[in-house]
């Protein structure tokens, strides 16, 4: 609706410019706000106040001229000029009702599909395989997944890329330890050895630090691995498969849509790295600095004004994270034919991505038409405001965190519903516990840090998963009571009460909310929307009896509104990666 109003006002401004009322250079982007007090209409703009001075007209006169020039639109019931020159817009209830009817009649809730669907490559999760997934990978994984689901819902083609860290010197140490363990314990099951990657990594690191002889072996193994030695590659591969299976277990537990086919790790680009460097050279971008090959771009400088290098090959011939990312970027633009490439990676890598994008553009690895965006996120902190750690200062394994969340949710729901059987309790605890962890993250602005807090995320009050999941069960319980399914609604929509109008006006904005997630990579916008809808339903439910009244037409209309609320909440929760429950 906002976009629609902006287009209307822009068209009116065009008319005023053509008539000579408004100088073209005075034009500004139109801002539309939704009004708090519905007696002032549903939306308002201050554009006449902004432009009055440059136009040399009184604000109220300009507002009147604008209103006169506004094209007819069925969505608008009327406009009003208020105060010093605000323009208030009143939505038409008939139009609103027809929008709701369209949404009810459509599986896709009448959210339009794009005229030109894009191919969007989304880089997310990307854990390092040497270690177990830890909380640092949680944000990337769940935010990325919510955006992917939103893009797909809107009708775009998404190619998921799980850029796992499966290469690097630490693998020498791990392979040396693996070899040692195999020799010591005979042909023990590899999976048993690696049941806990974290312990395995620590043990290997300990050996590496205490034994120079082991360290030498580890280094030799890296060299062998890099030169493509078959035995080393086999060990390495075995290790990675085990490590990846741990990741899949986490994805499954989280209900994240990543699978084995989405994995394209750093190592897949190995053969391409010399070519990347050669092509940068051919583009005239390389400078040698103390034996290392670097790209210096003018726009990247440190505090002292010195240009910062992007090192693409070390003096010893080794390649870097950046080199791999350049290869990946080119692959995504050219082979995958991406229109847009999104990276859900920690905000602390912001400079890395800015540099990557600039170098890639400069070198012609990606065309000007390809949109590149680093969707950075802040840190998940512990109660002390510092990055989340275990009590003894170690990194928190993701799987442990999820176990605790489900445990706590189980406690909560079993106290609330002692009558439910174990299986159902477990299923509810799973949806609530995992949902709470995901939602508490998704509902925050992606770019800020936040404090991880079990008590807050599991609260039934406020913008939380339990609140929203519960709100959904409340809506569907209306239908259970009435003995109806969500599809069994008909009759005319009557939007007479304010609570009905407010809920209806928000429901028709579902598509806009999803669109903003897809555009900005900010799932919290959808969270805020759903929270709003749940709140509006709540006041509607309080003020407008659905089943108890004796007016059949009113009852049918209210059931329709409830049905669309249920479907909107359920689709929205699903896009965020949460599981709506029938009861809890
Ligand atoms: N493995 C990296 C890390 O843990 C994240 C990878 C992000 N993706 C990328 N294309 N660099 O920091």
- CB neighbours of 171 closer than 8 A, spacing ≥ 6? 130, 221, 222, 225, 236, 239
User: What is the C-alpha to C-alpha distance for residues 89 and 44, in angstroms, rounded to an integer?
Assistant: 6
Compute, in angstroms, the gap from residue 64 CA to the centroid of ligand 1. Answer: 55
pLDDT band at 409 (very low <50, low <70, confident <90, very high): very high
165 Cβ inside 6 Å of ligand 1: yes
409 Cβ inside 6 Å of ligand 1: no
Over 90: is that where the pLDDT of 394 sits? no
Pocket test for ligand 1, best of 121, 132, 160, 165 (most atoms within 8 A of CB): 165
Quick one: angle between helices 170-184 and 197-210, nearest 10?
100
123 Cβ inside 6 Å of ligand 1: yes
Q: What local confidence, expressed as pLDDT, does residue 186 receive?
A: 65
Under 8 Å between Cβ of 123 and 163 = yes
Over 80: is that where the pLDDT of 5 sits? yes
Q: Whose CA is nearest to atom 5 of ligand 1?
A: 126
128 Cβ inside 6 Å of ligand 1: yes
ipTM for the whole complex: 0.99
Q: Whose CA is nearest to atom 4 of ligand 1?
A: 127
For residue 346, give the 3-state DSSP assignment.
Answer: strand
Q: What is the mean pLDDT of residues 448-468?
A: 95
Which overall architecture, per CATH, does domain 93-123+460-584 show? Orthogonal Bundle (1.10)
Q: What local confidence, expressed as pLDDT, does residue 347 receive?
A: 95
Q: pLDDT digits over 216-237, tens only? A: 999 999 999 989 999 999 989 9
pLDDT band at 296 (very low <50, low <70, confident <90, very high): very high
Instruction: Please work out, in degrees rounded to the nearest 5, the angle formed at the alpha carbon of residue 61 by the alpha carbons of 60 and 64.
Output: 85
Percent of the chain scored above 70 by pLDDT? Answer: 99
Compute, in angstroms, the gap from residue 226 CA to the centroid of ligand 1. Answer: 20
DSSP 8-state class, residue 49: H
Q: pLDDT digits over 49-66, tens only? A: 999 998 889 999 999 999
Which run of H or of E encompasses 59?
Answer: helix 59-69
Compute, in angstroms, the gap from residue 128 CA to the centroid of ligand 1. Answer: 8
CA nearest 204: which of 243, 231, 162, 230? 243
User: Which ligand 1 atom lies nearest to the CA of residue 137?
Assistant: 4
Domain residue spans of the chain: 2-91, 93-123+460-584, 170-258, 269-374
For residue 6, give the 3-state DSSP assignment.
Answer: helix
Pocket test for ligand 1, best of 139, 163, 333, 360 (most atoms within 8 A of CB): 163
DSSP 8-state class, residue 122: E
CA distances from 451 to 141, 349, 440, 454, 457 (A): 18, 20, 10, 10, 10
- CB neighbours of 379 closer than 8 A, spacing ≥ 6? 346, 347, 387, 388, 449
Q: What is the CATH number of domain 2-91?
A: 3.30.1360.70
Q: pLDDT digits over 107-130, tens only? A: 999 999 999 999 999 999 999 999
Compute, in angstroms, the gap from residue 328 CA to the centroid of ligand 1. Answer: 11
265 Cβ inside 6 Å of ligand 1: no
Q: What local confidence, expressed as pLDDT, does residue 183 receive?
A: 81
Under 8 Å between Cβ of 280 and 295 = yes
CA nearest 101: which of 472, 560, 499, 515? 560
Q: pLDDT digits over 319-341, tens only? A: 999 999 999 999 999 999 999 99
Compute, in angstroms, the gap from residue 120 CA to the centroid of ligand 1. Answer: 18
Q: What is the mean pLDDT of the chain?
A: 94
Instruction: Please work out, in degrees rounded to the nearest 5, the angle formed at the alpha carbon of residue 56 by the alpha carbons of 50 and 57.
Output: 75
Kindly report the pTM of this predicted structure.
0.91
433 Cβ inside 6 Å of ligand 1: no
């Amino acid at each position: 609706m906002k976009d629609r109003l902006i287009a209307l006002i822009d068209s009116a401004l065009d008319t005023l410019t053509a008539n000579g009322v408004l100088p073209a250079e005075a034009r500004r982007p139109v801002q539309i706000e939704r009004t708090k007090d519905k007696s002032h209409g549903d939306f308002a703009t201050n554009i006449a106040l902004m432009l009055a001075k440059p136009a040399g007209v009184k604000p109220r006169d300009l507002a009147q001229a604008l209103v006169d020039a506004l094209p007819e639109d069925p969505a608008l019931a009327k406009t009003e000029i208020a105060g010093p020159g605000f323009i208030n817009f009143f939505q038409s209830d008939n139009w609103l009702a027809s929008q709701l009817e369209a949404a009810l009649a459509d599986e896709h809730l009448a959210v339009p599909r794009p005229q030109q669907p894009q191919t969007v490559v989304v880089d997310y999760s990307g854990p390092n395989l040497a270690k177990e997934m830890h909380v640092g990978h949680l944000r990337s994984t769940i935010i990325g997944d919510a955006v992917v689901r939103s893009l797909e819902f809107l009708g775009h083609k998404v190619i998921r890329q799980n850029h796992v860290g499966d290469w690097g010197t630490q693998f020498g140490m791990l392979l040396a330890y693996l070899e040692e363990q195999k020799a010591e314990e005979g042909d023990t099951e590899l999976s048993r050895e690696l049941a806990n990657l974290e312990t395995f990594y620590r043990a290997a690191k300990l050996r590496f630090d205490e034994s120079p002889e082991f360290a030498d072996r580890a280094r030799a193994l890296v060299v062998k691995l890099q030169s493509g030695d078959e035995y080393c590659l086999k060990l390495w591969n075995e290790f990675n498969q085990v490590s990846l299976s741990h990741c899949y277990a986490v994805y499954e537990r989280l209900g994240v849509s990543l699978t084995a086919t989405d994995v394209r790790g750093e190592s897949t680009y190995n053969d391409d790295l010399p070519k990347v460097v050669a092509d940068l050279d051919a583009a005239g971008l390389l400078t040698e600095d103390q034996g290392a090959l670097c790209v210096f771009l003018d726009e990247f400088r440190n505090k002292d004004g010195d240009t910062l290098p992007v090192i693409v090959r070390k003096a010893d011939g080794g390649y870097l994270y950046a080199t791999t990312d350049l290869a990946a970027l080119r692959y995504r633009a050219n082979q995958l034919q991406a229109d847009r490439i999104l990276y859900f990676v920690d905000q602390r890598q912001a400079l890395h991505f800015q540099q990557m994008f600039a170098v890639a553009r400069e070198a012609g690895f990606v065309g000007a038409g390809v949109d590149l965006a680093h969707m950075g996120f802040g840190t998940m902190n512990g109660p002390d405001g510092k990055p989340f750690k275990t009590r003894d200062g170690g990194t928190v394994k993701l799987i442990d965190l999820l176990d605790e969340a489900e445990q706590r949710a189980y406690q909560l729901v079993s106290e609330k519903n002692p009558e439910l059987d174990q299986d159902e309790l477990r299923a509810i605890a799973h949806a609530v516990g995992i949902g709470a962890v995901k939602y508490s993250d998704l509902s925050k602005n992606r770019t800020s840090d936040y404090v991880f807090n079990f008590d807050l995320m599991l609260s039934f009050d406020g913008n939380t998963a339990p609140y929203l999941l519960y709100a959904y069960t409340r809506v569907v319980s209306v239908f259970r009571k009435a003995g109806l399914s969500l599809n069994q609604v008909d009759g005319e929509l009557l939007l007479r009460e304010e609570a009905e109008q407010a809920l209806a006006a928000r429901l028709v904005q579902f598509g806009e909310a999803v669109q903003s997630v897809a555009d900005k990579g900010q799932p919290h916008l959808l969270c805020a929307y759903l929270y709003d809808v749940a709140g509006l339903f709540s006041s509607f439910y309080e003020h407008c009896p659905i089943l108890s009244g004796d007016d059949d037409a009113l009852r049918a209309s209210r059931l329709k509104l409830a049905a669309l609320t249920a479907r909107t909440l359920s689709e929205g929760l699903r896009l965020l990666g949460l599981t709506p429950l029938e009861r809890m």
